[in-house]
Amino acid sequence: MPNEIWSTVDQYFNTLLLPPDSVLDAIIQANADAELPPYDVTPNQGRLLNLLARLCGARNVLEVGTLGGYSAVWLARALPDDGCLITLELDAKHAQVAVANIEMAGLADIVELRQGPALDSLAALESEGCSPFDLIFIDADKESNPEYFEYALKFSRRGTLIVVDNVVRDGAIMDLDNNEPGVQGIRRLAELITGNPRVDATVVQTVGSKGYDGLMLAVVNEA
């Protein structure tokens, strides 16, 4: 459970820094109405993704794990009119809700949702010879993080930013008795990066309205 002060601080800064946004509010409501799990990034994390995409001058973004499209909308709003966000989602119902939300946000022209197992969609993207992405956000099943990260490296150029959500999970990562596939996936991801000259990475631990977790940020050094 999130600590009360973490939520209050999130609310304080969100009230002052994030303007009221009827589209984002409607997405959260639509996701709740459809009984999607509440795994969307928080508003301030959505804003962070948006700022990171703008810092990158991103035109092409890849997202793994769409849910209802909340983070996709934050990311897509950072893109120019001729930009493109490809987002991958396994669950048909999540995908359906997300497509409607993206349409409601007026972003259907620049967001492409591909439904199915992300590993299949990533293999298809590879065989299509997709051009490198400027930013890649990995936020699906945590056990596959190493495989998603390997694909992300394949789809990167020098300077691509890779962001991985939920790498701390309430500190579960440090519980040696915890061998859940998701936790193992995060440990395998970190080990994969160790000594890899292609990428410089760090983890920012976070607290807030959705508890204690963390984001990995990685910049690719060379193609």
How many other CB atoms are there within 10 angstroms of residue 1's CB atom?
A: 7
Distance between CA 138 and CA 104 in Å, rounded? 24
- Binding-residue pattern over the window 70 to 89 for ligand SAH, x denoting contact by CB under 6 A: xx----------------xx
- Binding-residue pattern over the window 80 to 119 for ligand DHB, x denoting contact by CB under 6 A: ----------------------------------------
Applying CB under 6 A, among 14, 141, 172, 209 the residue interacting with ligand SAH is 141
Distance between CA 161 and CA 112 in Å, rounded? 20
Distance between CA 175 and CA 190 in Å, rounded? 15
- Give which of ligand SAH, Mg ion, ligand DHB, none residue 118 binds (C-beta under 5 to 8 Å, depending on kind): ligand SAH
- Binding-residue pattern over the window 148 to 187 for Mg ion, x denoting contact by CB under 5 A: -----------------xx---------------------
Applying CB under 6 A, among 24, 60, 62, 65 the residue interacting with ligand SAH is 65
Applying CB under 6 A, among 133, 139, 144, 183 the residue interacting with ligand DHB is 139
Distance between CA 114 and CA 72 in Å, rounded? 13
Please say which residue, 108 or 221, places its beta carbon nearer to ligand SAH.
Answer: 108
Distance between CA 208 and CA 5 in Å, rounded? 8
Residues 17-56 that bind ligand SAH (CB under 6 A): 39-41
Distance between CA 49 and CA 58 in Å, rounded? 11
- Give which of Mg ion, ligand SAH, ligand DHB, none residue 90 binds (C-beta under 5 to 8 Å, depending on kind): ligand SAH
Q: Is 63 helix (H, G, I), strand (E, B) or coil?
A: strand
Q: Is 181 helix (H, G, I), strand (E, B) or coil?
A: helix
Outline where 18-142 has alpha helix (H): 22-33, 43-55, 70-76, 92-104, 118-128
Binding site for ligand SAH (CB under 6 A): 39-41, 65, 67, 70-71, 88-91, 94, 117-118, 139-141
